[in-house]
Structure 1
Amino acid sequence: SLLFLAIFVVYPIIDAFYLSLHRYDLLTPPIWDGLGRYRLLFDDDRFVKALGNTLLFAVMTVPLGTVLSLLLAVLINQPLRAIYIFRTAYYLPVVTSFVAVSFIWLWIYEPQFGLLNQLLETMGLPTLSWLRDPKTSMLSIAILSIWKNAGYNMIIFLAGLQGVPDYLYEAAEIDGAGPVQRFWHITVPMLSPTTFFVFVVYFIGALQMFTQSWILTQGGPLDSTLTVVYLIYQNGFEFLKMGSAAAMSVILFIIIAIVTYINTRIVRYDTHFN
């Protein structure tokens, strides 16, 4: 396992850092450039915009997606007949190919014949160019991402809910606590470790967003959905600027490490079970 870790994790990280210190285009040998690639990146308007778009996407999806997944988990944790049907339905988007899902949502967002705009027309509201307008393109991708990932995080919350002792709810009900009070004073505190895990993993995944932008908008319009990973892809495989792509990868790695460390320090859970 250590050999596997060294080959597939440690070596790529070291190699990426090495390439980030060179000018390298796959056609010529690497040329030492020191920190020149990093200085160029922060002078590059597209990289700064991609970094801002990535953080915006994370802020738009992680809090709302976490809350939605928790509420879905509470809903399907009820002892109802045929509840497994709802569990399967909510989890189905997770196992569906993202390419297939993207084509469905492209039709939903289609300006003239899309389902969403037809719904707005029936309500007497103005229609929108969801993926073609820089003001709504990132929001459109965020909605799709929340819908796609809700089922996965829901299963994690469901596993946490099934580990909460029933006697806590029974004791609270005897004391006169209602459903909302039981949720806030029992469910939420007992799920704090699970919530922390979901939040951190969700945030890391949001910072690495690529597929949605690549399939739906190709980073447009006007770079409004350009993310760091998509820019890494462009520099590495379209422009063959492997040194710049490696430098972006290192910066993204450092940002993810810092965010994870801050979350670990801030979000402390000291729940003790007696």
Structure 2
Amino acid sequence: MSSAQDLNDSQHPSRKAFSGQAPRPPVFANKLEEREFLKFRLAQALRIFGNRGYDEGLAGHITVRDPIRSDCFWVNPFGLHFKLIQPSDLLLVDHSGQILEESGQKDGPFRILNTAAFMIHSAIHAARPDVLCAAHSHSTYGKAFSALGRTLDPISQDACAFYEDHALYTQYNGIVLDEVEGLAIAEALGSKKAAILQNHGLLVATSSIEATVHYYISLERACQVQLLADTAAATHGGKTVPINPAQAAATGKLVGSQGGGLVFWEHGIYGS
């Protein structure tokens, strides 16, 4: 390996030493500064999803609540690939579905709001004032697991992050094009941070962009592991062995903390 490559590797954020304290969220001079930061982070989040192959055609969306107009949210435009999104591409949308003037795209082919994105996310942001960021996509393992019509078992330490903190929405009524369906999904999510949408995909909603990205990735992996473990167990005529409820709950409090996402983000573990 060349010295230049060594230097590049040594400068990667993931090589930063963990301090005794978790990273703290940034402090902003004003709400406009906070808005620009959140837009930048949201574009990063979408690129991370794109790099991980979480896109499926035109499906998938991530939103962040606007710090100036808390009844509005920023969302990726319809038809633009996750990997290509810049902060200037994001749309600011109110809870009646209107694209507002603060949106970066004043005209052109990508100033279009995804109807399903609006129906799902507007309902979640309205019902959950604690939610800053929500993500929904049709990633492979989440989509496969959703066809089983069940929630995850606490079969690993990582899966415990979702123990009693994820829901199952058992209806599939086609593409979410009406308000009633969006409200039903928000109701099923309740106060939890994640939901498996049967025959559809995954949904995560938390108090930060970093936590939402972290737990979406973790939920997708947990679905993959559950599918693998169930298949292996069935092959040998057995069943998976879950962690006992008390230990699963205790572990979930540690690995399910929404502050954990910032640690992974600051150390460049997910890339962008």
More strand by share: 2
More helix by share: 1
Whichever of the two has the greater Rg, that structure is: 1
Scaled by the length of structure 2, what TM-score is found? Answer: 0.24
